[in-house]
């Protein structure tokens, strides 16, 4: 897992934390970087939600502008809500979804500190067992998969869906997402 | 032809399928990758539509957001329709078109599986013999050419036309595409 | 000068035409590529407009989507018109302009063939002696400078001005360009 | 500090001016490039505002289109105003701010010459001691930090906030920034 507060392009391999993959209730770091100034990302318990409850092998957290914008489009107040889309081929990149399914991704309200999202993320996951992502209002998205390949595919397909939903919202005829 | 379900930047030369260029009715793979887990893209019969009926030497299939968005703009319901534009210099990059011609690209409805597009794509090609592309609603575009150079030129010019049509749709004065 | 119809990233140094810099009325190529299939760009007489009437050392012709879009915003019908903007710092990158000046760039109507723009471009240049650019409706822009450095600076600043004008046109309050 | 009027990608290490870091009231260059044609950027006194009044170790000046556009959105006339946003996770990248705080960045009116911004920038900094940035209408943004790492983080987070504010302004429901 990446360290907290380090610009992504400046992270070196030796700056990465190794997490405990055996005891998933412990949320434990098993190897820390030599640089003691580095702290593990505050996303740690959120990632363990996916490791533990969904048997995820990899989790991606993104602050993509399209993810942030789509939460603002759906929930201008930042309250919990649901992103929905339908009719896009890229939905096929999501586990178990076809292009004619209606995709529903939960949006949870943001909290002052990232770790405070742990419970509401877990509840949203339980309420939406058919999707591998949780949006956070004004913040971004957590996406996971059985391995990094599936996590990356799902992250890329979701970002496409967020983007086209945001961009089609500006259509004069008001095409529905 | 590319394998199915492999992230594009991870495809290696040895992962590509060699298609039969002699018997165009057979839609046959003549050499498969050593990795038996790889399957040929489900686009195979769609590419043969262009090889067989248009003597194409290369076909490009793109999920460009601009292609997807322009189908949503023209056909919010996802039904079969026609994309039209006029007055753009980049139209000259399309076979036989000038900048004052009206370009019409058929949009076919999407289907649950890609191979199911084969017949409606063929019919759209017959109805639009003057253009080398078929859009698929909420999905993307198939573009071809006599060789990869022309296929690439046409794909790039079309993507430009899709983009400027989508972006000008947001103009307050409602400039017509 | 670049050859006609070759994808820009595929042009090799030996594909470039050398133009006559002495007799500017002749519009003459003094050295052609060895590859006889290559033809000089049809922009040749348009570039000589700038070489001859403005003592330009370099001309850039761009099909930038922002250039095309801004002509569509200002002149949806494609008729001759004028792009105007005011109040942007980037105007300082244009010869003789400050950020509080009103910049006016002529837009000429497009023609079926590029060489047919020669006379209307020359007239637009005479009517707008204070700027080093001519837009072509639905097409792009010609920009020049005393050398390639100034031509590039002016092309980049203009592209910025076209972009922010197009993007601010979508503002709900209708901020004026 | 960078030289004036040189395209950023063409600046060489030896073209950079070394500023006096001891006597911050002098705004003095202590080493100039060997190339006497180079002049120091006119931003020099503006950077010293941040060095002197805020103990900044690095200042970034950007003409980002999103920065320019957001000033046009907030202040179409170019008058002094304030950019505000709230509810974005990326606000945490700004010194002392959380995602539920309301961020207020002053916008000062532009002036014909950059150095003329010195006094109004200083006054805006005094009026907004809680933020490390000043926007200039139709122009861009000045951002600083205790070192280049913090300056870069704050510049990137602000650009994100400017971008999502501009893009969400086009939402049909009028989501508030």
Q: Inform me whether the pLDDT recorded for A76 exceeds 60.
A: yes
**CA–CA dist A142, B30 (Å, integer):** 42
Q: Is the pLDDT of residue D24 over 90?
A: yes
pLDDT band at B173 (very low <50, low <70, confident <90, very high): low
Q: Do D69 and C167 touch (CB under 8 A)?
A: yes
Which of C138, C175, C176, C177 to mutate: most B Cβ within 10 Å?
C138
Least Cα distance to D30 among D22, D38, D42, D18 occurs for D18
Give the CA radius of gyration of chain B.
Answer: 17
- For A81-134, the pLDDT digits (tens) are 999 999 999 999 999 999 999 999 999 999 999 999 999 999 999 999 999 999
pLDDT for C100-136, tens place per residue? 999 999 999 999 999 999 999 999 999 999 999 999 9
Beta bridge partner(s), residue C141: C62, C135
pLDDT tens by residue, D62-80:
999 999 999 999 999 999 9
What pLDDT band is residue A174 in, cutting at 50, 70 and 90?
very low
Q: Does the pLDDT of residue C175 top 50, yes or no?
A: no
Among the partner residues D100, D164, D176, nearest to A76 by beta-carbon distance:
D176
Residues of A in contact with B112 (CB under 8 A): 98-100
Position C116 scores a pLDDT of 97
The whole-angstrom separation of Cα C41 and Cα C22 is: 20
| Beta carbon pairs, C and D, within 8 Å | 56
Q: Which residue of B has its CA nearest to A92?
A: B112
| Chain C residue nearest residue B149, CA to CA | C7
Share of chain D above pLDDT 90, in %: 93
Position B94 pLDDT exceeds 50: yes
Cα pseudo-dihedral D110, D114, D120, D126, rounded to 10: 120
pLDDT the model gives residue D173: 59
Average pLDDT of chain A is 95
Segment C161-177 shows an average pLDDT of 79
- pLDDT value at residue B172: 77
Local confidence band at A177 (pLDDT 50, 70, 90 cut-offs): very low
Output the six-digit token pair for D162. Answer: 């400017």
Q: Which helix (H) or strand (E) holds B157?
A: helix B148-168
Q: What is the mean pLDDT of residues A135-159?
A: 98
Asked whether the beta carbons of D146 and D57 are under 8 A apart, the reply is yes
**A34 pLDDT exceeds 80?**
yes
At A82, list the tokens: 């649901």
Best of B79, B108, B138, B166 to disrupt the A interface (most A CBs within 10 Å) is B138
Query: pLDDT category, B176, cuts 50, 70, 90?
Result: very low
Q: Compute how many other C-beta atoms are within 10 angstroms of the C-beta atom of residue A52.
A: 16
The C-alpha angle B106, B111, B112, rounded to 5 degrees, equals 160
CA D145 to chain centroid: 11
Per-residue confidence band for A170, with pLDDT thresholds at 50, 70 and 90: confident
Evaluate whether A99 touches A81 at the Cβ level (below 8 Å): no
Task: Residue A66: name the closest of C163, B65, C66, D100 by CA.
Answer: B65
What is the number of other CB atoms lying within 10 angstroms of the CB of residue A113?
11
Above pLDDT 90, what percent of chain C?
93
Residue of B nearest to A98 (CA): B112
Per-residue DSSP letter, A155 = H
> In whole angstroms, what is the distance from residue D74 CA to residue A136 CA?
27
- What per-residue confidence (pLDDT) applies to B177? 40
User: What is the nearest CA distance from D41 to chain C, expressed in angstroms?
Assistant: 14
What residues of C act catalytically? 89
Is-contact A8 A2, C-beta < 8 A? yes
Question: Chains near C, with 3+ CB pairs < 8 A?
Answer: B, D
Q: Which two tokens stand for residue B112?
A: 């649950």
Residues contacting residue D163 through CB under 8 Å, at least 6 positions apart? A65, D66
Q: Average pLDDT in the D84-98 region? A: 98
CA angle A47, A53, A59 (to 5 degrees): 30
* Residue of D12, D22, D86, D89 marked catalytic: D89
Question: Among candidates B96, B74, B92, which has minimal Cα distance to B141?
Answer: B74
| pLDDT score of A86 | 97
Asked if A151 and A123 touch (Cβ cutoff 8 Å), the reply is no
Contact D112 C99 (CB under 8 A): yes
Put simply, the answer to whether A87 touches B69 (Cβ < 8 Å) is no
Distance from CA of B8 to the nearest CA of C (A): 21
Cα distance from C151 to chain D (closest Cα, Å)?
A: 12
Asked if pLDDT for residue D174 goes beyond 60, the answer is: no
Residues B147, C25: Cα–Cα separation, whole Å: 39
Distance in Å, alpha carbon of D107 to nearest chain C alpha carbon: 14
pLDDT in tens, B74-93: 999 999 999 999 999 999 99
Question: Could you tell me which chain A residue has the CA closest to the CA of B136?
Answer: A89
Structure tokens given for B134: 């078929």
Phi, psi of A142 (to 5 degrees): -110, 130
CB contact under 8 A, C89 and D76: no
Please state the rounded mean pLDDT for residues D93-101: 98
Q: Which candidate, A103, A91, A98, A101, places its Cα nearest to that of A154?
A: A91
Q: Has this prediction a pTM greater than 0.90? A: yes
- Tokens 């209307």: give the residue: C120
Q: Which of A12, A84, A89, A114 is flagged as catalytic?
A: A89
């Amino acid at each position: 897992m990446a360290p907290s507060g380090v610009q992504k392009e400046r992270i070196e391999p030796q700056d990465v934390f190794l997490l405990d993959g055996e005891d998933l209730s412990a949320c434990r770091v098993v190897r820390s970087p030599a640089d003691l100034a580095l702290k593990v990302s505050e996303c740690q318990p959120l990632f363990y939600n996916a490791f533990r409850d969904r048997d995820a092998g990899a989790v991606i957290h993104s602050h993509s502008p399209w993810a942030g914008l789509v939460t603002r489009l759906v929930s201008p107040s930042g309250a919990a809500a649901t992103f929905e889309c339908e009719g896009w081929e890229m939905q096929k990149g999501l586990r178990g979804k076809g292009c004619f399914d209606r995709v529903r991704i939960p949006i949870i309200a943001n909290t002052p500190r990232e770790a405070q999202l742990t419970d509401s993320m877990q509840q949203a996951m339980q309420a939406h067992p058919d999707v591998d992502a949780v949006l956070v209002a004004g913040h971004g998205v957590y996406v996971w998969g059985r391995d990094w390949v599936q996590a990356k595919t799902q992250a890329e397909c979701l970002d496409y869906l967020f983007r086209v939903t945001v961009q089609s919202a500006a259509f004069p005829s008001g095409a529905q997402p």
